[in-house]
Amino acid sequence: MRALKEDELFPSTPGKFKIERAHQIHRQYQRCFASSTTIFLWVIFLVALTASFLSFQPFLSSSSRLSSSHSWGGLQWERQVRVSASPRRPSGLTVLVTGAAGFIGSHCSLALRKRGDGIVGLDNFNSYYDPSLKKARRSHLSSHSIFIVDGDINDARLLSKLFDIVPFSHVLHLAAQAGVRYAIENPSSYIHSNIAGLVTLLEAVKSADPQPAFIWASSSSVYGLNDIVPFSESHRTDRPASLYAATKKAGEEITHTYNHIHGLSITGLRFFTVYGPWGRPDMAYFSFTKAILAGKSITIYRGRDGLNLARDFTYIDDIVRGCLASLDTAGKSTGSGGKKRGPAPYRIFNLGNTSPVNVPTLVSILERHLKLKAKKHVIEMPSNGDVPFTHANITLAMAELGYKPTTNLDAGLKKFVKWYISYYGHATRGIFKTNL
């Protein structure tokens, strides 16, 4: 409601006031006083009404936002969920994939569908990076009859509804606030997604009947300041170097608790620097590619004593195979409606490539595939939570999952560059034309 201005409370032409005699002046004075009092009271009433409305407006706006964001529900929506969740093969899995419009989530969802499993995706399409890429992934999955619910893992009502509609056999929990450096700018988003969201989802899984097996994305970041290489699942993980790592470590402790108390079958996967087509724009290989094509300089961090940073880069197809093997070997949860009937499996695996590559080598590979030289700006690594190297020991995953990475960095980046140029329409000098 618009507050009325003073000139709107009074007539624009009040008319003439003619003085005749003393008693007429007195009567006019009384009328004027009565009129002024009435007007004053109306002004007070309107001001109070306006103030009340303005104080109520945030609540209305909040309710409106909640209402508009509540885009799930209804018979048509339930039908889409059920159809998407239906397996296409005998004994197929029925999987809830959180973060399904994300990098790893979209690849895993597509792989599950291709082998005939039922999938329902869940993603909140946040703006940590360009949501249009997530929407393009959703469109790609939709063409393979995979339905992604637009919602948040902190929405307990939505989760309860999904578990009421579909008896999920497995949950593949890949939704998370990613990135090491962004935690310095927005720490609360990591607590909201990686801890509060995880607990909300585990509560829904715990209460489901039947209880699905729970496979989720931890991170190689949990090794933190560990300097024993290669990183093994038996190594210490109590010295995180970033808030992101701390939330993932907390997630491992939280999932262990739900396994112990409620009988949930839990598998945690520590991913090592995943890359490939449809990847995350905040990752170095992705942003380097964009900058090189645009003729802009790239920043390369160097560790202490002039040492180059190194990462165990793992191609997306290898990660997907590890995720699917984890689903297939998860074992059953032993609870029902939150009540544990016996011990349930609890597992943690490294999923890496076992061949760390330093960042300058990564850049040189990109230069070769892009047929362009990078403009390099080398600086010492700031104290932003990054660690100088990662290196996975995958002995356990090989033994229990049959996990075996097959794509080296050169082959993987070649596939990524091909996708990047195809998707964004950018090209290189000599063969392509750069239009960034």
| 346 a catalytic residue | no
b/e sequence 137-167, b meaning 16+ C-beta within 10 Å? bbeebeeeebbbbbbbbbbeebbebbbeebe
**Rounded to a whole number, what is the distance in angstroms from the first to the last CA of the chain?**
46
Measure the CA–CA gap between 118 and 431, rounded to whole angstroms: 43
CA dihedral 228, 234, 239, 241 (to 10 degrees): 70
A 10 A CB-CB count for 20 gives: 8
Torsion of CA 380, 384, 388, 389, to 10 degrees: -140
Which tokens is 353 given?
């490539």
Both tokens of 253, joined, read: 């402790």
Dist. CA 331–CA 248, nearest whole Å: 23
- Which residue is catalytic, options 182, 244, 258, 285? 244
Question: Tokens 């024993």 correspond to what residue?
Answer: 228
* Active-site residue set: 244
